[in-house]
Homo-oligomer: A and B are copies of this chain.
Amino acid sequence: MIDITEKVDYKEYSREGVKEATGEVVVEMPLTIYVDKEELVTLLCTPERMDYLALGFLWSEGVINTPDEVKKIVVDEEKGAVWVDAAIDREFIKEMMFKRLITSGCGKGTTFYSVVDKVSAQPVVSDIKVTPEQVLDLMSKFQETSHLYKETHGVHSAALCTPDEILTFREDIGRHNAIDKILGECFMSGTALKDKVMLTSGRISSEVLLKTAKKGIPVLVSRTSPTALAVRLAGKLGVTLIGFVRGGKMRVYNHNERVNSEQ
């Protein structure tokens, strides 16, 4: 059994100062599903009952329809792979895979994970400094700004900020869409990203971390939790990863050299 949580060290900043601490974050890992030895898809998941996840996914997608069709299932938890031996309609699968639809929770291709190692060769470089007070204030403003959330409780939000103020704020039913809306605006306006802070309302998965790190954003902040994979990638990619910004406190998981608690 793979652990589904992982202990990580962080620094807890508050208006009173800094202290070292350790906490649990959820493990996130890629699971590649092979059907009849052919690679079908890679999901990012919590490594628990990967067999059920693979079968449920294949059943949801209409790849398998009855238990009789599944002749064998082999799970390699360490590798993050499930091999399903099943009688399937290859043409249907090809069609399905090709016409894939990106849903509100996501928004990306395999380009990320196949190039994690390549990406890691280009860490984010930035001289930006933030104080804990600035981060706490940005998060307060961020939460005040979210009218649509207040109205419907159905959206995620993201904001691009200087250490002192929110420059752009966007909302969407999809976590990644909210960030992509901000990136799209910066793409057109030519706004520099290497001296900015990105705030997100959702937890920080590896995808969110990679999406912003690839564009050189040095500080990524959430009111909630990062995954273990996001913490590890932030370390490699030179990103200052800040979570649990609430109640006058914040946890800095990596690259706290950009957090200046002396004013």
Contact = CB atoms under 8 A, between A and B. Distances in A.
6 contacts: A28-B173, A46-B148, A48-B181, A56-B181, A98-B98, A106-B106
Contacts of A106: 102-106
Contacts of A175: 105
Contacts of A188: 52, 55, 67
A148 B26 contact: yes
Contacts of A99: 109-110, 114
A173 B205 contact: yes
A211 B60 contact: yes
Interface in A201-229: 203, 205, 207, 211, 214-215, 224-227
A148 B45 CA distance: 14
B225 A46 contact: no
A137 to B, nearest CB: 22
A153 B57 contact: no
A41 interface: yes
Contacts of A59: 183-184, 187, 215
A111 B112 CA distance: 24
A108 interface: yes
Interface string A101-134: 1111111111111100000000000000000000
A51 interface: yes
B109 A155 contact: no
A96 interface: yes
A42 B102 contact: yes
A75 to B, nearest CB: 12
Interface string A173-188: 1111101111111011
